[in-house]
């Protein structure tokens, strides 16, 4: 009996015994992760529906034919080149973001500012490229509910689905990039006005960084399923 009492008296120090975060992560960061998980479900739903449609239709527009222009350089004949540039821009901006997070861990304010500026430039360049690509496709006759008249008969069904899903999904992704750029600008302004310096932690850079990497992650999937497959 006495042994049992002494065991009860002993203070538990396990990760789940209370008094500290079992995940050893800051609250806001955990919430950002769960938000991203929910966002992952949204994007998967869109992409899986796209996959199912492509699987169902008898024909589907050939990506090498649809995406073969480099706006401002050539109207056709260069499949995948422009989207390759866009992918490269987004990967680079992901790297500059992670460099900003790394600088934040060291509390190096000036480096955080430098890498955040590069990340914002990367994001804006990506959005610019997407605007060019959309404009080009609109001119070719694609759009919500529209597709070029060259698609006829059963081809038209697939082309309509492709058109709608392409603009919806890349549009939704572009919207994420846009809000990511806004968040990055806010964080840049806060860094420059010494908010994090005073707080003593640059964890906000890390949280926004998570969001930015997620945007890159979604693009990896969009790129594969729209442009490659």
Partner 1 sequence: MATEHTQEHGHADHAGMTKKRIWQVFFYLLGITALEFFIALVLMPMGMNHGLGNFIYVVLTLLKAYYIIAYFMHLKFEKTAFVTSLTVGLIFIVYFIVLLLTEGSYLHVHMN
Q: Give the footprint of partner 1 on this chain (CB under 8 A).
A: 15, 22-25, 30, 33-34, 37, 40-41, 44-45, 48-49, 51-53, 55-58, 64, 79-80, 84, 87-88, 91-92, 94-95, 97-99, 101-102, 105-106, 154, 206, 209-210, 213-214, 216-217, 220-221, 224, 228-229
Q: Read off the tokens for 14.
A: 């396990």
Least Å distance between CB 19 and partner 1?
16
Closest among 77, 91, 226, 75 to 161, alpha carbons compared: 226
User: Is 24 or 149 the residue whose CB approaches partner 1 more closely?
Assistant: 24
Closest among 127, 106, 111 to 181, alpha carbons compared: 127
User: Is 78 or 141 the residue whose CB approaches partner 1 more closely?
Assistant: 78
Least Å distance between CB 175 and partner 1?
20
3-state class (DSSP) for residue 116: helix
User: Is 22 or 171 the residue whose CB approaches partner 1 more closely?
Assistant: 22
Element containing residue 1 per DSSP (H, E): none
Distance CA 160, CA 166 (A): 10
Least Å distance between CB 139 and partner 1?
24
According to DSSP H, which parts of the chain are helical?
Answer: 2-9, 27-56, 63-66, 81-105, 109-140, 154-192, 195-199, 203-222
Least Å distance between CB 73 and partner 1?
17
User: Is 55 or 73 the residue whose CB approaches partner 1 more closely?
Assistant: 55
User: Is 30 or 182 the residue whose CB approaches partner 1 more closely?
Assistant: 30
Least Å distance between CB 203 and partner 1?
11
């Amino acid at each position: 009996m006495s042994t049992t009492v002494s065991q009860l008296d002993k203070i538990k120090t396990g990760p789940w015994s209370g008094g500290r975060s079992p995940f050893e992560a800051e609250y806001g960061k955990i919430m950002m992760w769960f938000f991203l998980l929910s966002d992952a479900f949204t994007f998967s739903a869109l992409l899986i529906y796209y996959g199912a449609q492509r699987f169902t239709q008898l024909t589907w527009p050939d990506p090498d034919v649809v995406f073969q222009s480099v706006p401002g350089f050539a109207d056709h004949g260069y499949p995948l080149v422009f989207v390759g540039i866009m992918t490269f821009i987004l990967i680079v901006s992901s790297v500059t973001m992670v460099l900003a997070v790394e600088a934040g861990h060291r509390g190096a304010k000036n480096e955080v500012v430098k890498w955040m500026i590069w990340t914002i430039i990367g994001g804006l360049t990506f959005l610019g490229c997407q605007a060019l690509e959309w404009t080009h496709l609109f001119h070719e006759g694609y759009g919500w509910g529209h597709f070029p008249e060259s698609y006829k008969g059963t081809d038209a069904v697939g082309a309509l689905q492709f058109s709608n899903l392409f603009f919806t999904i890349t549009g939704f992704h572009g919207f994420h990039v846009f809000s990511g750029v806004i968040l990055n600008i806010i964080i840049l302004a806060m860094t420059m006005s010494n908010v994090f310096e005073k707080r003593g932690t640059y964890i906000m850079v890390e949280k926004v960084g998570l969001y930015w990497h997620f945007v890159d992650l979604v693009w990896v999937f969009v790129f594969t399923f729209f442009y490659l497959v």
